[in-house]
Amino acid sequence: MTHDIAWTPREVKALREAQHLSQRAFAGHLGFAHSTVANWENPHRKALHHETREVLNREFDGLSDEVRDRFDRRLGHAAGKLGAGSTVRTAMLLDSLSGDTASPLPYRPPPDAVGGVRAFLSSSMRVLLLKGAAGTGKSQLTHYLTRHFAEQADFQLLTVESWDLTGVDVAVEILRYASIPRGHDALLTLETSCQSLSRPCVVVIDGISSHHEFAVIGRQVDAILRQVTAPSLRFLITVRTPPVPETTAYPLLHATLFTATGKIGDTHRTELTPWTSAEAQNRWDQARSTEVPPFERLPAGIRHLVRTPVYMRLALAASLETTGHDLNAYTLLERCVRAIIGSGASDPQPVMAALTELAWSQSQLHVRCNSISQPGHRTSPPPLPSGAATGIVRTLSHGRIEFTHDVLSEFFLSTYIADILQDHGRSVAAVSLLNELATQASVSGAARSIFELIVQRLDDRAPGLLEYVATAPTTATTTVPLLLAMADGSRFATPEVLRAVANRANQERSISLSRALLDSRALHPALGHGRATWLLALLRQFGTELWPEITGFIERTFDVADTYALLDAADLSESDEATFFARHFYLFFSDTTSNALDTFLSHPNWRVRAALAEGIRDDHAPAGAPGLNIMEQLVRDVDYKVRAAVAPAVTRVPQPLAERYLSTLLNDDNWHVRECALHGLDPLGPGHPRQELVHAALAAINADSAWRRCPRHIRPSWQRLEILHMPDLTDTFTAHDGDDHRALLMVLRETRTGYLVLPPQIRQAVVDRAQRSGNWLVQHEAAGITAGSGHSDNDDDPRLSRERFRRTRNHRAVQIALDMRDINDAITVARAAVAAGADYIEIGDPLIKEVGVSGIEQIKAAVPEATVVAEMMSADWGRDQVVLAAQAGADVVLLIGPATIASVSAAVEAGQRLGVPILLDTPIATSQRWVTEMERAGVDGFTITTNIDLGIGNTTALDAARTLRSWTQLPVAVSGGFSTTDPTVFTSPDWDILIVGRSVADAVDPAGAATRIVELVHQTERQS
């Protein structure tokens, strides 16, 4: 037993409740009368008999670890236990917070966010970012979640505000929270403590409001995830946005980040946003007192502001009365604060002044301005009259006064700085100060809020100063967009100011200024008749990069006259320009009689016609007459590329037409068109309302004898539809084409990664079919499903493949490249390398060219314990290469060749869907920007590949790897003809995966060569 238990009434009750049993059920379980068990729990009863204690001891000894943990939590036996200790501490914190909830607005959590956390707890992911602007209720939600999920998980409630970020150690803080000594190494102690967790332990880290804070916490969380592999340790991190922090710099955090799937029916949300108008009205009218006007009588601007919870709470607390005109956020806060202070002080002005001084003295902003003394160098703020600011500030146990919400401290701080700026007037000093604030606002949610409040105060008191700043030549291009974000409804954004900024955007070719302008409704009247010319200039200058902003501006502000003016000014004979209008035809045409639409349909450049097809697929495009007429013509276009472009869109039209178009496209004289038509059916999974289209498509296929001779790469798309929609059908391809297992393998793998969620009966039919297959890969995937490999602690779980691979950073791994042409020789070397302890076996391009991707499957079948890396050439066709390699059984895919962000993103999407990490070869002339872009695209590692036939020395490869590792935290693999005669390679800290080819593959004794390589690598193992 874990405790010497006396079996007091409290302990007996805890034993029963830990098993979720009533007294009657507990009595029946033990074989005693209900009255007997009730007496055991009677606080006034005498000590139990020895025999009774033995019964309870035996019952306790038979409990699972999870139930024992629940028993410990109920009794507060938490010493040395991470889960139980966290729950005890959290319960105390929540009790202390329960008395600080005086608010006229009862808290109601957003159901979709709660659902998102529930999905997170049941997933294999380990990090959830809860994002949201100030005042949207992030902290309140974490407190609610901690109570709501108390039976499913243990929680810690940590906050960044309580830490000194220059020296904080998150691992130490987690241990300290549960009263666990840090030991010699906090990470190792935490790793040991997590091994005994019987359920998720969620570490909530609240209050991150800047990129700097996220960088400090992100690095440490990443290090914890790298060391502590126990899946029960989770993190829920709240981040104040905008701006949204970048996570790709933290590989393990990014790989284990929970995200909503985005699929139809997925209502999970990980970002808190303001309420809808209907939600706000419901909450306001339910919470308001009789002297507060109903929601519908509030001015439109105030109705918009109180959609944010903190503003509604303040407005209700202040009993805000209707003003008859709109208020911005600053003036609403000012009205509320004055009303609250006025209820406790006869003269609110001295209290306002004292609170302003208090906010500045506690500020974390660092601005260089001679007229502003820095926080910490100021004298103490004047004392506050007792009770004068109740609800705005509170006094902590150690005497420190703090604001009850960040929004309030930011309001007073913005007052202080805005008044300084107003004193500066039109000056270089004012511009410099706003530039500096804007720089901080670009990386800090708190600074962004302060900047906006400053602008709102100045717009009310000194709009001329903002006009000057917006048009001053020394105002930075980071400052003007932030000003323009508040242009609508402002006094400073006059037509003259907006035209001046628009001219600057053109002259400086500034895409950031252009984006900010296009987001403002006020720009439309300001530009007048010149708006068409200005928009076309942007379109020609920036191309597709600015398409979303241009179309958004047109959709929000254009009328019929504007549309015709833009079309008349455009040069539709120019392909790039015509492509834009064709792609977004639904913004410009309401019927099919337009000459311009005919121009697109008959345009000599196929890309223009294909753009019409892409436009039809847009969610904004109505399924009306224009779209149907366009589709009618495009499905019979003379160019197969246009027909292929429109093929995925036919499922959007009414059923009879869709079936007719599908029949046409599935009988096309080009196999690529047919394949695209099949891909268009993929979203119509089992149970989809339009799945009858799939049955119609399969009937059309079976009626066309040409499909029996379809190319091998298209066959899986056909068979996939049969597997998912006709599970009882006999294995079609087995009969006349041999067993083509690839579609079945992909369905099984996508089921294991969670990409496919199949109804139980179809899932079972798929597994049964797999078990009948003669292919060992298929049988392996089926075994993974039936064995419950969805559990996140399974080493074979494909959902964790990226996390496992990224963990090779700072750990020495060996990859043996089978750069050979004979499959039998390759199998021999692979067996020897795995036996020697090699971590990865690379199927090189020479072998794939010689025997095809089936070489991957043959190696995997012969050496199933090998982790196979497939070297696939032409990264620009990355998605297809990843699918081909995964169908053959590859565990990792290395992409070689020129790559674009779009192609790599597509490859990564396929890799995530199939549980295959993506390695990307680094071009010779690379840059840190390229590396960062590829990290954002989602790759899992980089390689430095050096061809020894070119005579490039090993030092060059290591130098390149050193530079690359300084740019990324992802694993870096390096090759360069290395062998045991290169001692500097093995002692070099500049690689994570050493790729060795010919020195093993061409060795007379490959087993001995591989063994020596592995031994040398392990002798120089990096200490992480």
Give the Cα separation of 614 and 579 in Å (integer). 10
Q: Which of 248, 272, 296 is the last residue of a domain?
A: 272
Domain co-membership, 630 together with 718: no
Q: Is residue 325 part of a domain?
A: no
Distance CA 500, CA 507 (A): 11
Is the pLDDT score of 371 beyond 80? no
pLDDT surpasses 90 at 659 = yes
Do 764 and 627 belong together in one domain?
Answer: no
Q: What band does 324 get if pLDDT is binned at 50, 70 and 90?
A: low
Residue 976 has pLDDT above 90, yes or no: no
pLDDT band, residue 981 (cuts 50/70/90): confident
Given a cut of 50, whether residue 23 has pLDDT beyond it is yes
Instruction: For residues 124 and 26, state if they share a domain.
Output: no
Quick count: other Cβ atoms within 10 Å of Cβ 748? 28
Beta-ladder partners of 943: 921, 973
Contact in structure between 549 and 514 (CB atoms under 8 Å)? yes
Token representation of residue 701: 């296929």
Question: Which two three-digit tokens encode residue 21?
Answer: 């049993």
- Is the pLDDT score of 790 beyond 50? no
- pLDDT bucket at 4, cuts 50 / 70 / 90: low
The CATH number given to whatever domain includes residue 953 is 3.20.20.70
Query: Can you give the residue range of the structural domain that contains 17?
Result: 9-75
Residues 6+ positions from 626 with CB-CB distance below 8 Å:
585, 586, 589, 590, 591, 592, 597
Average pLDDT, the chain: 87
Which residue would you say has higher pLDDT here, 991 or 622?
991
The verdict on residue 413 lying in a domain is: no
897 and 789 belong to one structural domain:
no
pLDDT tier at 376 (50, 70, 90 boundaries)?
very low
Residue type, 809: R
- In whole angstroms, give the CA distance from residue 1002 to residue 816: 11
202/146 Cα distance (integer angstroms): 9
- Given a cut of 60, whether residue 264 has pLDDT beyond it is no
- Indicate whether 692 belongs to any domain: yes
Residues 196 and 152 in one domain: yes
Question: What share of the chain has pLDDT > 70, as a percent?
Answer: 90
**Which of 30-44, 586-600, 662-676 has maximum average pLDDT?**
662-676
Domain ends where: 705, 727, 759?
A: 705
Same domain, 108 and 250: yes
Answer yes or no: is 304 within a domain.
Answer: no
pLDDT digits (tens, 9 = 90+) for 693-749: 999 999 999 999 999 999 988 999 999 999 999 877 655 444 445 457 899 999 999
Name the residue with higher pLDDT: 65 or 209.
209
Tokens of 1000: 């093993």
Q: Do residues 723 and 613 both lie within one domain?
A: no
628 plus 759 within the same structural domain: no
Residue whose token pair is 């090779």: 808
pLDDT tens digit string along 211-221? 999 999 999 99
- What mean pLDDT do residues 4-8 have? 75
Task: Supply the pLDDT for residue 603.
Answer: 93
pLDDT-based confidence at residue 575 (cuts at 50, 70, 90): very high
Buried b or exposed e, range 288-309, using 16+ CB within 10 angstroms: beeebeebeebeebbbbbbbbb
Cβ(919)–Cβ(895) below 8 Å: yes
Q: Strands 201-208, 233-240: parallel, antiparallel or unpaired by DSSP?
A: parallel
Measure the CA–CA gap between 627 and 147, rounded to whole angstroms.
51
For residues 845-868, average pLDDT: 92
Residue 461 is predicted with a pLDDT of 94
Structural domain tally of the chain? 5
Residue 487 covered by a domain? no
Peptide bond into 481 cis (omega under 30): no
Q: What share of the chain is helix, strand, coil (3-state, %, to 5)?
A: 55, 10, 35
Whether residues 862 and 780 fall in one domain: no
As a whole number, mean pLDDT of residues 660-664 equals 95
User: Residue 388, CB half-sphere, CA atoms under 13 Å: how many?
Assistant: 16
User: Measured between alpha carbons, how far is 15 from 656 in angstroms, rounded to an integer?
Assistant: 64
Residues in the chain, how many? 1024
Task: Please give the average per-residue pLDDT across 364-371, as a whole number.
Answer: 62
Residue 962 placed within a domain:
yes
**Per-residue pLDDT tens digits for 97-115:** 765 556 778 899 999 999 9
Burial of 949 (0-12, 13-18, 19+ CB in 10 A): exposed
638 within a domain of the structure (yes/no) = yes
Residue 599's pLDDT is 87
pLDDT at 1023 over 60: no
User: Considering 705, 735, 763, which residue would you say is the last residue of a domain?
Assistant: 705
Residues 789 and 804 in one domain: no
Is pLDDT above 90 for 549?
yes
**The model's pTM:** 0.82
pLDDT tens string 914-963: 999 999 999 877 899 999 999 999 999 999 987 654 444 444 788 899 99
CATH number at 106 reads 3.40.50.300
Q: Average pLDDT, stretch 127-134?
A: 94
Is residue 129 domain-shared with residue 211, that is, in the same domain?
A: yes
Q: What is the pLDDT of residues 594-608, one digit of tens each?
A: 677 888 999 999 999
Q: Are residues 765 and 849 in the same domain?
A: no
On whether residue 597 sits in a domain, the answer given is yes
**What are the backbone dihedrals phi and psi of residue 840, each rounded to the nearest 5 degrees, phi first?**
-135, 145
Mean pLDDT score, 264-274 = 69
Q: What is the pLDDT of residues 460-497, one digit of tens each?
A: 999 999 999 999 999 999 999 999 999 988 999 999 99
What confidence score (pLDDT) does residue 823 get?
94
